[in-house]
Amino acid sequence: MYGTSCGLAGGSMKTIVLSLFLGLTAAPAIAGETGCVYDLKGEVMTMKAGQAAWAAAKKGLPVAEGDRLKTGPRAWCEILFKDGSFIKMEEESETAAEALRSTAEERLFSFSFLKGKALWMAAKIKSRATSFSVRTPSAVCAVRGTDFSIIVSTSGGTTVGLFEGKVAVSGAAQEKELLAGEEASAGAGGVAVQARLSRLMKAEERRYARLKGRVEALRKRLAQRDTFIDEYIGRQEKALSDLENRRKEKLGKR
């Protein structure tokens, strides 16, 4: 069934919701880190939960509830989660992880996508109830199908391109269904759906097609080893530590 979200107050944040409410079965709780920065290029900054300052993000940085990430000009950032969900943020984008909860009974992932462009690939979970949501400044969507792109303009307008499944897009007291291969634009004037992807979203679809095989390979590795994310974080932390130790050794020889 489709998920629901908040009302449509003028100027308030709205929600893009992916809901795959499936039967509950007993499943082990997910241990270790929920997700991490898997790869990045250029200036990528993070503000950890409870902090007030931005700091440089590195490969292997754990991503936890309350954390924020943003990319600078010509930068990008990939985020991989233990359940197989994957996000690729393009340049000058910003998102916040509002909720990252995974138990034996359910998965609850909630994000605010404040600006920019990102590809979202939410993993399908068959053994637990699951809700995966993304808030933007101007749209409310309930999604069946997990691979899509969101673009938030500088004025706060939202464009959603759907590559698989269905999505109900709501805005300004309107609700329209979006099918795979279609595109929706949401703003103060409501929601408009076009039957074909725009040239911009066609480019996003090609980017998605190039990434899909790689993400599927990562999901297979995650399925084979529950510790994949934690091991990756550990390797990256060790590499940074070794680099810092070599730097100190060189300074000591001067």
| Parent domain of 146 | 14-253
Tell me what pLDDT residue 167 has: 75
Under DSSP, the state recorded for 123 is P
Here the CATH number for the domain that contains residue 64 is: 2.60.120.1440
Residue 132 domain-assigned (yes or no)? yes
- The verdict on residue 2 lying in a domain is no
Q: What is the mean pLDDT of each run of 10 residues along the chain (254 residues)?
A: 37 40 37 87 97 96 97 98 94 95 83 92 78 77 70 86 81 81 88 93 94 96 94 93 84 74
Q: Is residue 6 part of a domain?
A: no
Task: Give the pLDDT of residue 8.
Answer: 32
- 8 Å CB contact between 38 and 17: no
Q: How many C-beta neighbours within 10 Å does residue 238 have?
A: 11
CB 227 within 8 A of CB 183: no
Residue 4 resides in a domain: no
Domain count, the chain: 1
* Residue at 54 is within a domain: yes
DSSP symbol at 195:
S
Model pTM score: 0.83
Longest distance between any two alpha carbons in the chain, whole Å: 69
* Rounded distance between C-alpha atoms, residue 195 and residue 164, angstroms: 14
- Domain-embedded: residue 8: no
| Separation of alpha carbons 245 and 76, rounded Å | 28
Alpha helices in the chain (DSSP H): 199-224, 228-253
